[in-house]
Amino acid sequence: MDELDRKIINRLQLSFPICDHPFAVVANELGTSEANLLARLEQLSEKKYLTRFGPLYNADNFGGAVSLCAMNVSADDFDVVTEQVNAHPQVAHNYQRDHALNMWFVIATESQNELEEIIKKIEDETGLPVKNMPKLHEFYVGLYFEV
């Protein structure tokens, strides 16, 4: 990663313009071209410096549902279960923890019924129970990692 790559990552963590050409606006702020910015984002993704770039929507503000879920997955099955869980587009933020419930992930759906259906599908596909911990309150943390 060079200095411009770091500036891109730092800048895009803070905000993203809502306009006809948001990448051109950011590129101008960073002193580069829109084409170069897009190419660098592609390279950063290919090299796995970025795993995701996109908006975060508060699903429950749109009538949807959000829940933090956890599972107890054996070490031998962890990779297979990860693939099964991640195959659902409603799943995000899947990560491993050093805890009895060692797989944690977020499910965001268009409705409460869909949330329950996805949990049931994951349980059926993996043969493991899913601990459903629905969001009760939202807290804004303002997470930022300077690169």
Tens digit of each residue's pLDDT, the chain (147 residues): 999 999 999 999 988 999 999 999 999 999 999 999 999 999 999 998 988 777 777 777 788 899 999 999 999 999 999 999 999 999 988 999 999 999 999 999 999 999 999 999 999 999 999 999 987 887 888 888 899
Question: Considering the domain boundaries, does residue 39 fall inside one?
Answer: yes
Measured CA to CA, the distance from residue 109 to residue 133 in angstroms comes to 14
Measured CA to CA, the distance from residue 103 to residue 85 in angstroms comes to 10
Please indicate, yes or no, whether residues 31 and 78 belong to a single structural domain of this protein.
no
Q: Number of structural domains, the chain?
A: 2
Measured CA to CA, the distance from residue 143 to residue 147 in angstroms comes to 13
CATH number at residue 89: 3.30.70.3460
Please indicate, yes or no, whether residues 82 and 128 belong to a single structural domain of this protein.
yes
Question: Containing domain of residue 21, as a range?
Answer: 3-46
How many Cα atoms within 13 Å fall on the side-chain side of residue 5? 13
Question: Considering the domain boundaries, does residue 146 fall inside one?
Answer: no
Please indicate, yes or no, whether residues 87 and 38 belong to a single structural domain of this protein.
no
Q: ∠125-58-27 over CA atoms, to 5°?
A: 110
> What confidence score (pLDDT) does residue 34 get?
98
Please indicate, yes or no, whether residues 63 and 31 belong to a single structural domain of this protein.
no
Measured CA to CA, the distance from residue 115 to residue 122 in angstroms comes to 11
Please indicate, yes or no, whether residues 16 and 75 belong to a single structural domain of this protein.
no
